Amino acid sequence: MALKATIYKAELQISDMDRHYYASHALTLAQHPSETTERLMVRLLAFALHADERLEFGRGLSTEDEPDLWRRSLTGEIEQWIEVGQPDEQRIRKACGRARQVIVISYGGRGADVWWDRVSAGLARSKNLTVIDVPAAAAQALGEIADRNMELQCLIQDGQTQVMSAKNTITVEPVRRMAPTAQAY
């Protein structure tokens, strides 16, 4: 018998001072049976960092044609393609050909460093790619506040993000590994 996804609901209030974006989002996240709560919460962080009315979650880990999150134009063009984790180089290059902007949010400490060392040279010519790393301690702390029904506030200012829940306040300082131009997280 196949395992089913675990459903998480999040009320997410975002105050992004860097992008001047202020909104509340009622989100439903499906956790794939093979996905950790740490990865689930990094996906939620990715949403907060790039929040927009048209940003939506993809269908999940088992769907190869979709990213973890994406934003499409009203005509269906892919404006933003967001991957979480350590996707292979070919997948990233393919996404760069399909979307106006591609963002990879890696996490996992030393494992993310090894992944980046392996793929960075091959991705150096990608003009529309941004790669951001979430420090391992922050990703672990995010995983610890995961709850099936969450109320979270996210404050983003000067490249630093604070995620506040009833359990804890977590400060995340993403590290930019690669960016096409100077832009806000």
Tokens of 73: 């134009």
Question: How does DSSP classify residue 128?
Answer: T
pLDDT of the residue at 2 = 63
**For residues 153 and 15, is the Cβ–Cβ distance under 8 A?**
yes
- Exposed, middle or buried, 178 (CB in 10 Å: 0-12/13-18/19+)? middle
In this predicted model, what pLDDT tens digit does every residue of 79-110 receive, in sequence order? 999 999 999 999 999 999 999 999 999 999 99
Tell whether the model's pLDDT for residue 116 goes beyond 50: yes
**Amino acid present at 171:** T
This prediction has a pTM of: 0.92
d(CA 168, CA 113): 27
d(CA 136, CA 171): 12
pLDDT of the residue at 128 = 95
In this predicted model, what pLDDT tens digit does every residue of 7-54 receive, in sequence order? 999 999 999 999 999 999 999 999 988 899 999 999 999 999 999 999
